[in-house]
Amino acid sequence: MSEGTLYDKVWDRHKVTTLPTGQDQLFIGLHLIHEVTSPQAFGMLRERDLEVAFPKLTHATVDHIVPTADQSRPYKEDAAEEMMAELEENVREAGIDFSDPTSGDQGIVHVIGPEQGLTQPGKTIVCGDSHTSTHGAFGALAFGIGTSQIRDVLATGTVAMEKQKVRKIEVNGELGEGVEAKDIILEIIRRLGTEGGVGYVYEYAGEAIENLGMEGRMSICNMSIEGGARAGYVNPDETTYEWLEETDYFQDNPEKFDELKPYWESIRSDEDAEYDDVVTIDANELEPVVTWGTTPGQGVGVTEPIPSPAELPEAKQDTARRAQEHMRVEPGETMEGYNIDVAFLGSCTNARLPDLRRAAEIIEGRQVDDDVRALVVPGSQRVQHTAEEEGLKDTFEEAGFEWRNAGCSMCLGMNEDQLEGDEASASSSNRNFVGRQGSKDGRTVLMNPQMVAAAAVTGEVTDVRELKEVTTA
Amino acid sequence: MTDTDEVEIPEVDSVSGSGIPIHGNDIDTDQIIPARFMKVVTFDGLGEFAFFDLRFDDDDNQKNHPMNEDRFQGSSVMVVNSNFGCGSSREHAPQALMRWGIDAIIGESFAEIFAGNCLALGIPTVTADSETIQELQAWVDENPDKEIDIDIEAEEVTYGDETIDVTVDEAQRKALVEGVWDTTALMKSNAGEVRKKAQELPYVDDAAIPEAE
Ligand code: SF4
């Protein structure tokens, strides 16, 4: 078993007791809720005549169903309006803070928590959403939970969990031009598999991780779950503290910063911490990664050939065959030149300011291909406003992108933004499952945001490094 | 304490029923219940949408899928392959399967959040190696009406003349067998210790800790 890691320390600090099941009862420092997975939990609470135990440690937003074009109320779609109304009612009754669309603070739950300083090192954070792992970028212990567990947290401020093993993933070296955090995590999942992380929490470390800004670290932690790990984290450091200092919470409570810093330092993994497993990755070797299949583990370097199912481990062959049929790709070829109908720049993986800035650099002075429908959906209203002030909106619109309001949008196609028929999308999101983007015949190619920009302007999967050469030549 | 003590939590020490095989690795929760059916504020009625896109084409005509076959109507033990339930944390997935009629799932492996969500509903997720599962799937295919018995406590599954060893995660086994899989009441009874824990944590503001009940 691991010892002296951030995971061990934060777990110990939050453990209330061991339950008769052998699971630990863990205190939850921050409970984030959204409209899709919380209403049933509030319903269960009502059935049992229970109240929310810690409303002040709970924070709500609306993201999955919120329309990103016309946001006037009532929403055009009845089901969306009903879900929103239900959430409004639930948070009002319980006295829970709500970053609603009129506040200017609304956005995808995994974008707004860090923005507002709710996400902090050494906290336990849960949300009824598997990408809660994102918050681990700050050295928090953050994981997704199901609706029955949401009920537990609402009613008791705790969850029942079993402790897991810790795998350290050390990423050494430096990332090359056009290669990003997203490529690191796609590479990790490709190597360790979509279930490689089951039973583990991932600690991301090494020079390449330390050199990333908070947004890059969030992109990596975000997709831990795609590798089967329910949580992933990075030890807090100066980069983390600089971000925290700028957030609302610490701007409003500056004395808290000095007060909490010793705690943050104390929960960092010890130099001589023990891990259950250690994996190393060389960042120098990476190139932009794109997926060729229908699981996030089916990735390949943009210039590398798509593997033949026969050369994969036996358990993966059947899935690979079906995926290649669905995607209509041929083993032996590269993904370069794969025709794209939609370019989606959004989601909790890659819709923060630096993501939009890097993509904007690529499209500056270029035009979206005539056959491509391209949209930018900022991760939050704050990202949106800052991007508008910086002129990014203009850059995108001049190039032919649609500029939308904040939400999950085409990441999962619960609002009107969906793929149609068998459209292929170049997507900065995290899941390429069949049907994920709203059409069961739709085809999703996951990639980093610069690569999405490149695909938008050329109409096909393109190695963004080539466009960069043209620009600098 | 509130009246949560009165909630009855049944013990689940065994499950019996006829089987239904669902083939394929990495079956994600987007397939088990597509997101568009999640625009609901209760779980009622999700059963008919389980595996919807694999069961119906664009014109709502039935496709080839075990859940559409007459011989598997009434089946309650699903037999699946590896990494079943990966992806989104939506509890809508096991809720949809449960409401379709599934009481237990036997498979090669399960995604963790999915298995946890199943447990919260009292649905065991038991595992066995790949070969064992494939044999069981083939048997179910031949014997769609015959019973499969899952003994949670003994970690055994019996079908036809066979009895096979299966694995049930330790915490899951205890929770099911002892009837403590509904954790709300259990954890609520530790409210005093929870408050104390909250007070000890440096980042929790005093104002965020409500007065004791
Ligand atoms: S952006 Fe996508 S992955 Fe992120 S919370 Fe929304 S739906 Fe989930």
Residue of A162, A159, A164 lying closest to A41 (CA atoms): A159
ipTM: 0.93
Distance A415 CA to ligand 1 centre (A): 12
How much is the mean pLDDT over chain B? Answer: 92
The DSSP H or E segment spanning B79 is strand B77-80
The reply to whether A6-266 and A289-472 are identical in fold is: yes
Domains of chain A: which residue ranges? 6-266, 289-472
**Mean pLDDT calculated for residue range A252-281:** 98
Confidence of residue B2 (pLDDT cuts 50, 70, 90): very low
* pLDDT value of residue A21: 84
Is position B68 within any domain? Answer: yes
CATH number of the structural domain spanning residue B124: 3.20.19.10
Distance B108 CA to ligand 1 centre (A): 28
Q: Is A153 on the interface with B (CB under 8 A)?
A: no
DSSP state for residue B211 in the 8-state scheme: P
Q: Is B57 on the interface with A (CB under 8 A)?
A: no
Which residue among A19, A48, A434 sits closest to B31, beta carbon to beta carbon? A434
**pTM for this prediction:** 0.94
Confidence of residue B3 (pLDDT cuts 50, 70, 90): very low
Range of lowest pLDDT (A351-355, A383-387, B70-74, B88-92) = B88-92
The CATH superfamily label for domain A6-266 reads Aconitase, domain 3 (3.30.499.10)
pLDDT over threshold 60, residue A473:
no
Among protein residues, the one with the nearest Cα to ligand 1's atom 1 is: A347
- Give the Cα separation of A114 and A242 in Å (integer): 12
* pLDDT value of residue B213: 64
Determine the residue type at A112: I
Which residues 154-183 in chain A show a CB within 8 A of chain B? 155-160, 162
Classify strands A158-161 and A24-27 as parallel, antiparallel or unpaired: antiparallel
Is position B30 within any domain? Answer: yes
Nearest CA in chain B to A144: B89
Cβ–Cβ below 8 Å for A56 and B207: yes
Q: Give the structural domain span for B113.
A: 14-152
DSSP H helices in A391-432: 392-399
Confirm if B112 and A225 have CB atoms less than 8 A apart: no
- Nearest-Cα distance to chain A for B164, in Å, is 22
Is position B97 within any domain? Answer: yes
- Give the Cα separation of A380 and A383 in Å (integer): 5
Q: Each residue of B79-125: pLDDT tens digit? A: 999 999 999 989 999 999 999 999 999 999 999 999 999 999 999 99
How many domains, in total, are found in chain B?
Answer: 1
Q: Each residue of A97-142: pLDDT tens digit? A: 999 999 999 999 999 999 999 999 999 999 999 999 999 999 999 9
| For ligand 1, mutation pick of A129, A431, A446 (most atoms within 8 Å of CB) | A129
Is position B102 within any domain? Answer: yes
Class of the CATH-defined domain A289-472 = alpha beta
Is position B205 within any domain? Answer: no
- Nearest-Cα distance to chain B for A349, in Å, is 14
**Mean pLDDT calculated for residue range A211-240:** 98
Q: Is A436 in the pocket of ligand 1 (CB under 6 A)?
A: no
